[in-house]
Amino acid sequence: MKTLSWMVAILILAPLAIVPSAVTSQEVSDDEMSGIVDHMHDHLDRITGIKTSIIMGNLEGVREPAKWLAEHEAPSSLPDNYEPFIEAMRSYAGKVLVAPDFQTAADAVSGMAITCSGCHQANKVTLKFDVEMKPEEWGETKMHMQRHQWGVDRMWEGLMGPSDEAWSAGTDILVDIPLHPYDVAGDAVDMEDTIAIDVIAQRLHALGGQGAYTHAPAERQKMYGEVLSICADCHTRLDRGPGE
């Protein structure tokens, strides 16, 4: 038997590596510890899958990982104080599972990140983020969108850590000059979508500015849900995701 130090192994969440360290009073065997680490990997994979599907504008893509999170059995070796976080995660997953729109799904997955954060704090887990370099400030549309994605990823880390440093890095980059709709889609966008995308770009820009003054977890959760929903709306209107 040994003191539980869960998630001591490196967890990979592209484009970041999370290297946590934690100590709790519960004693577990090596096999139990391995099962807990695997369980955290599984959670991370599904939550990331939901977030990515929203960003890509794929609402149906959130269903399968949400179903797993809502229905799977947690390892019996988990510390007792995990129970409220497990129940909260299942509740949010249930909301994603039946979400009628991107905003509902985005709000719920943001709640999952806050739940992870609460669990980390309750169990004295410190996350260290191995962050890739910020994309360069080029005028090219593709690079501008890569900077957006980099910022959204850093905000995610800020929620999940929690990490004020990561959150600030993410919101700061969203303050970049917003793209003009024609920079994104050219003549393929009709006037209605052109106006809508312009509003979207301006709103994302504004959220970056507001984020610097947003500190309460609940407010950050709400803001991040709106950011994800904005990404989904834009990609849906353009009929393509950030990789295209």
Element (H, E) at 183: helix 181-185
Compare 137 and 9 and report the one with higher pLDDT.
137
Confidence band for 24, pLDDT divided at 50, 70 and 90:
very low
pLDDT band at 26 (very low <50, low <70, confident <90, very high): low
Contacts of 12 (CB under 8 A, 6+ apart): 18
- Beta-bridged to residue 130, according to DSSP, are 17
Q: What is the mean pLDDT of residues 169-185?
A: 74
Q: Which residue pairs from 187-194 have beta carbons closer than 8 angstroms and sit at least 24 positions apart in sequence?
A: 188/238, 189/237, 189/238, 193/237, 193/238
Q: Which residues contact 197 (CB under 8 A, 6 or more apart)?
A: 181, 184, 185, 189, 234, 237, 238
Q: Which has more pLDDT, 143 or 196? A: 196
Q: What gap in Å lies between CA 91 and CA 45, rounded to an integer? A: 18
- Percent of the chain beyond pLDDT 70? 73
Q: Is the pLDDT of residue 67 over 80?
A: yes
Question: What does pTM read for this prediction?
Answer: 0.80
pLDDT tens-digit map of 111-154: 999 999 998 888 777 777 766 667 666 556 667 778 888 999 99
Contact indicator for 72, 49 with CB cutoff of 8 Å: no
Mean pLDDT of 4-12: 34
Q: Residues with Cβ < 8 Å from 159, sequence gap 6 or more?
A: 110, 113, 114, 116, 117, 167, 217, 220, 221, 224
- Give the pLDDT mean for 96-103: 96
What totals of helices (H) and strands (E) does the chain contain, helices first? 9, 5
178: three-class secondary structure by DSSP: coil
Closest CA to 238 of 193, 202, 192: 193
At 22, the pLDDT band (50, 70, 90 cuts) reads very low
Q: What is the pLDDT of residue 188?
A: 53
Percent of the chain with pLDDT over 90: 39
Using CA atoms, how far apart are residues 162 and 114, in angstroms rounded to an integer?
A: 8
Lowest mean pLDDT among 60-64, 104-108, 171-175: 171-175
- Cα Rg of the chain, angstroms: 19
Per-residue b or e along 160-170, where b marks 16 or more CB atoms closer than 10 Å to that residue's CB: bbbbeebbbbb
Count CB atoms within 10 A of the CB of residue 98.
Answer: 12
Beta strands in the chain (DSSP E): 2-3, 11-13, 16-18, 27-28, 129-131
